[in-house]
Amino acid sequence: MLFQVEGWKLKNDKKIALGGVKDKKKKNKNKDKKKERSGDEQHSVGHKDAQHDHEEQPAKSKKGDKTKQRDDGVDTHEEASLKDKKKRKRDAAESDSITHKRAKAIKQVASNTTTPKAPVEPVPPVPVTTQTKLTPLQQKMMSKLSGSRFRWINEQLYTITSEEALKLIKEQPSLFDEYHEGFKSQVSSWPENPVDVFVKQFETRLLSRNINAPGGLPGTRDKKIVVADMGCGEAQFSADVTKFVQQQRKKSKKYKNLDVEVHSFDLKKQNDRITVADIKNVPLEDESATIVIFCLALMGTNFLDFIKEAYRILQPRGELWIAEIKSRFSEKQTGKGGNDEFEQEDAENSTVGKEFVDALKLCGFFHKSTDNSNKMFTRFEFFKPPQDIIDERRAKLERKRRFIEEESEKEKLENKREVKPEGQWLLKPCIYKRR
């Protein structure tokens, strides 16, 4: 019964993302139920339990009615039909009250699955583990439920624009918590967390080379490192790097004046390190950052807008670090399309993300490296070329008469984006499979 929540059915996804499922009028209830059921059949991924629970109840009571009619065979036809009418009335009233009770229970347990019309104080997220005393069966159901909800929210974030995502999380902030609960559990099953890889890279490069020296981290003229972590989640990068910088300052004279600033942006202010912003438009000045990171954060269907925003805020020679799930690259289709099973082909294949790299080049970035050594994600490094390199390259292209060609490639990319958002072809949505 707990599963009879419309929000979990993919059929209604769009409605929920854009302002919630409207309450259905009672007189249309049966019609709507029928519709929903056929919707379930089409979009049942990850919602089979819900569907079963939803359907079995009415089916059983129907069968029960029939048996009873056969047992009451001694009644006259009229008596029988009178009784039948009364019974139907009783049943209807009963089922109404059951529906009412269910709805109440769902509200209490599953909280804000349906979107409130106006932004109201959100109900806290579903407590899946502790606090509430649940029987083992209930616990199992709740964890299944939270898994389905994670997959649902995940799919939403990959199939809507960034503006819609910001609106969705503003209206239902608890979706963010539920998402991250599931996300953490997914990532914990991977051999490596990409955030840790980025932190390690930051530390190694800081310690092994001087800031702004070849191979060293890029900084401002006065060697300040300014990082923008776009779609930071719970801002782990900021927490880890800040801690590391503090240690280094204490530890060695060389780093006494080490100056590192990390800006962490996401859809919800989960902690003090985070600034709420749609990463297509962050509150940073032009050319004010020296490193921009997207760690599994290119989620909106318009993610090339995020890349353009990175270009805007990066200073020349500033670096762009990206990690994305391997199965998102069209060149690297996994057989069954899952990310949580290690189905990837040869990890060393250098064509991974070629189309993606080409698109970023058309946004103005220079490609430094692609690292495919990790099983689950690919890492890319780009940098924003300074004006002299841009001019040099342009002259070279003109000499080869290829400049016009590149300009038309840019135009082609923009035209293609208009017809279909890049989230539908350049990077595929990352859909997690049901375990």
Q: Is residue 126 a contact residue for ligand SAH (CB under 6 A)?
A: no
- Our CB check for ligand SAH shows the closer of 106 and 307 to be 307
Shortest reach from residue 300's CB to ligand SAH, in Å:
5
DSSP character at residue 435 = -
User: To 5 degrees, how large is the angle CA 13–CA 16–CA 20?
Assistant: 155
CB of 371 to ligand SAH, least distance (A): 16
Report, in Å, the least distance between residue 271 CB and ligand SAH: 12
Which DSSP string do the residues of 107-118 spell out, in sequence order? Answer: HHHH-S-SPPSS
Neighbours of 269 (CB within 10 A): 14
Q: Which of 53, 57, 183, 361 is the binder for ligand SAH (CB under 6 A)?
A: 183
User: Is residue 423 at the binding interface for ligand SAH, with CB under 6 A as the rule?
Assistant: no
CA distances from 121 to 74, 110, 241 (A): 59, 16, 33
* 276 or 347: CB nearest ligand SAH: 276
Site for ligand SAH in 9-48 (CB under 6 A): none
Q: Under the criterion CB under 6 A, does residue 295 sit at the interface with ligand SAH?
A: yes
Reading the block at residue 185, the tokens are 């559990």
190 binds ligand SAH (CB under 6 A): no
In whole angstroms, the minimum distance from the beta carbon of 306 to ligand SAH comes to 7
- Amino acid code (one letter) for 206: L
Taking CB under 6 A as the binding criterion, the range among 29-37, 82-90, 130-138, 296-304 that sits at the site for ligand SAH is 296-304
Residue 297 contacts ligand SAH per CB under 6 A = yes
Q: How far apart are the C-alpha atoms of 286 and 288, rounded to whole Å?
A: 6
Backbone angles phi and psi of 78, in degrees to 5: -65, -50
Cα pseudo-dihedral 85, 90, 91, 93, rounded to 10: 130
291: β partners? 227, 319
Question: Does position 165 bind ligand SAH by CB under 6 A?
Answer: yes
The CB-of-195 to ligand SAH minimum distance in angstroms stands at 5
Site string for ligand SAH, 206-235 (x = CB under 6 A): -------------------------xxx--
Distance between CA atoms of residues 232 and 292, nearest Å: 11
Q: Which stretch binds ligand SAH (CB under 6 A): 41-49, 294-302, 389-397, 399-407?
A: 294-302
Least distance CB 393 / ligand SAH (angstroms): 31
Ramachandran category for residue 7: left, alpha or beta (phi over 0 → left; psi -120 to 50 → alpha): alpha
Binding segment for ligand SAH among 117-125, 289-297, 312-320, 354-362 (CB under 6 A)? Answer: 289-297
Q: Which residues pair with 263 in a beta bridge?
A: 228
Diameter of the chain measured on Cα atoms = 102
Can you read off the two tokens belonging to residue 34?
């029928």
Nearer to ligand SAH, 218 or 233 (CB): 233
Residues that bind ligand SAH (CB under 6 A): 157, 162, 165, 183, 194-195, 231-233, 236, 265-267, 278-279, 295-297, 299-300
